[in-house]
A and B are shown apart, each in its own frame.
Chain A
Amino acid sequence: MNRPSPFSVRGRRALMVIRDEREIAIVRRQLGRLGMTITDYDPERTAPAEAVDVIVLDADLVPLEVDVAAVCQGDTPIIALVGTETPSRLKWLLDLQPASFLIKPLRSAGLYTALVVAFDSAQRRHDESLRTERLETRVRSRRIVSAAVQQVMRSQDVSEADAFALIRRAAMRQRLAIEQLSADILAGGGLPGRTTRSA
């Protein structure tokens, strides 16, 4: 898969959820220098009109003035602009799971780093959630594999290790996941390609 490098930010789109005019000007100018395009937040709209790659969000607006749920669509990374560092405010910030942050007052230095870290961490989060999903599926199907192993042990009169080896070999032959073949064994009542001995 050809994934975009987190260092190349040109052409990516940012949603700006910022109130302060000076900060808006700084972010807008710096994003322009980096070749990014900008969508302004419209509080009248319930969701952003177009997909964005990153959200630059003034954490001092949260939770009063912004419908965070409407702004934070999916797993778009958030760069939080932090002014107030009190624990109560930071708690809101943590709930947003920001991918990176900048301390106010803003300067032009820092935004590029925040973007690169945000894009990189969004990619890592995405990879990790895929991996977690895969592992969860495997954990869930362990019960099925173990039931299939039990069945083959009984039907073939073999040890647990040999039963698992038989299933694994059959899965490889049929180009199926072990979990899938195990489900087939349980549904069809035996190892494929073998005469099932009656119990």
Chain B
Amino acid sequence: MTRPAIPIGLVFSRSGPYGMMGGELHKAAVMAVDEVNQDDQFDFSFTPRLRDPRGVVAAYHTACDELIREERVDHIIGCYTSASRKQVIPIVERTERLLWYPARYEGFECSDNVIYVGAAPNHNVVPLVRHMLAQISDQVFCIGSNYIWTWETNRVIREIVGSAGGRILAERLLELGEIAVDHIVREIIERKPPVVFNTLVGESSYAFVRALHEAATRENLVIPMLSCSLCEPELKLIGSEASVGCVTSSAYFESIDRAENRGFVARWKARHGAESSPSVDGQSTYVSIMLLARAIRRAGSADVGAVKRAAANHRYQSPQGPVWVDPDNNHCFLTPRLAHSVPGCQFKIFWEADAPVRPDPYLAGLDLASIGKLNKVNDVMTRNVTTKSANHLRIVK
């Protein structure tokens, strides 16, 4: 039986400064395309049209322009950084195409021609800061890469921590790719902050986590670290020992105990080796293509308007749990989770939201007053961890 082939664009930088992550996203996309093409439930197949902009921002524009004009694609899955997404949006808006964007990002955007499948800031940053205030400290040392993700994450941290009466002890920025971290590690060891919030990305983050672990071990110090971006493949790059103990916020961890995820991880390992792990953004890329395939099936066409209508509110039981597009803002309902990194380069989940959470890209629903109150209640009940968390956290493990 021949099934009509629908061309789709896959735009991932498999080389260049964040080639490792781009490669992970690409692998997940190809896996999803293969699964759709082998699944009889779909009466069409996808023909992937691949582009590698090599991390060059301007190349994203060219790649998508070609895909739309020459390859005639209606749907593009791709981009990792916000800078690359911003390059693509004018083209998809002008030509009425759809970009399926898998990465978590800083929010404050809502294009009609983008489906945002990754976490919005209310899914990842907010639960982590609330956890920090309730369980660790309201005095925080922030370190991050000098770009939009860190700036905006730090702004949210500052706003929430400030409203709860806490304090940002320091805000240190490193240029993207910078691995000279010793002066900041030295400062942290000297000042001994109660907690470090790490929004570094890539090699900077791996170098920092390793160096801080080494210095803290030498000094016999325990300094908790928080992250909303670390994923399993990165824990492997950091190293088994140094990567342990980081509290991470994410909608996906390899350790999620659901049948859909066990199957997904097994298929991933069968393709990429028993030692490999899917990442949060990889899983999200896989989810993007599955959401697209299901929407095309429901719409009976790849037409952008019909696909958007079909995707709206349609629940897909994904590896990370039920996911669906909120037609009010084109972002997805996801389940926020918090986990500790444990030996073996894995995460142990200790909290997850009761149900998938409505995406709030502009943080319009962030109730600072209630967070401030929560923290004051916690001051009184510092001994009672269970009662503290009961206000907003459900312990699952």
Contacts and interface: CB of A to CB of B under 8 A. Distances in A.
Interface of A: 9-10, 29-30, 32-35, 107-109, 112
Contact of A33 (B89, B93, B364): B364
A29 B361 CA distance: 13
A140 B295 CA distance: 72
A13 to B, nearest CB: 14
Given A32-B328, A33-B329, A109 B111 contact: yes
A35 B109 CA distance: 14
B266 interface: no
B241 interface: no
Contact of B109 (A29, A32, A34, A109): A109
15 contacts: A9-B364, A10-B364, A10-B365, A29-B328, A33-B362, A33-B364, A34-B364, A35-B365, A107-B93, A107-B111, A108-B110, A109-B109, A109-B111, A112-B108, A112-B362
Most buried by A among B109, B110, B329: B110
A194 to B, nearest CB: 52
A38 B36 CA distance: 44
B203 interface: no
A33 B109 CA distance: 10
Contacts of B365: 10, 35
Interface size class of B (residues with CB under 8 A): 10 to 19
A79 B93 CA distance: 23
Contacts of A30: 110
A29 B112 CA distance: 11
Given A32-B328, A33-B328, A33-B329, A108 B364 contact: no
A8 B64 CA distance: 35
A33 B111 CA distance: 12
Contacts of B109: 109
Contacts of A35: 362, 364-365
A171 B57 CA distance: 65
Contacts of B329: 33
Contacts of B110: 30, 33, 108-109
B126 to A, nearest CB: 14
A33 B329 CA distance: 7
Contacts of A33: 110, 328-329, 361-362, 364
A108 B362 contact: no
Contacts of B89: 109
Q: Which 6 A-B pairs have the closest CB atoms?
A: A35-B364, A108-B110, A10-B364, A34-B362, A34-B364, A33-B329
A93 to B, nearest CB: 26
A178 B109 CA distance: 53
Contacts of A34: 362, 364
A60 B329 CA distance: 28
Nearest to B361: A33
Interface in B105-121: 108-112
B111 A108 contact: yes
A8 to B, nearest CB: 9
Contacts of A10: 364-365
Contacts of B112: 107-108
A34 B361 CA distance: 9
Nearest to A5: B159
A61 to B, nearest CB: 25
Contacts of B328: 29, 32-33
A33 B328 CA distance: 7
Interface string B331-370: 0000000000000000000000000000001101100000
Nearest to B363: A10
Given A9-B364, A33-B329, A35-B362, 7 more contacts: A10-B364, A32-B328, A35-B364, A107-B111, A109-B110, A109-B111, A112-B362
Contacts of B108: 112
A30 B109 CA distance: 10
Interface in B96-134: 108-112
A120 B163 CA distance: 21
Nearest to B93: A107
A112 B364 CA distance: 12
Interface string B308-344: 0000000000000000000011000000000000000
Nearest to A11: B364
A34 B111 CA distance: 14
A30 B108 CA distance: 11
A27 B115 CA distance: 20
Contacts of A109: 89, 109-111
Interface string B359-397: 001101100000000000000000000000000000000
A9 B89 CA distance: 25
Nearest to A26: B112
Nearest to B86: A109
Contacts of A107: 93, 111-112
Interface string B190-232: 0000000000000000000000000000000000000000000
A109 B112 CA distance: 10
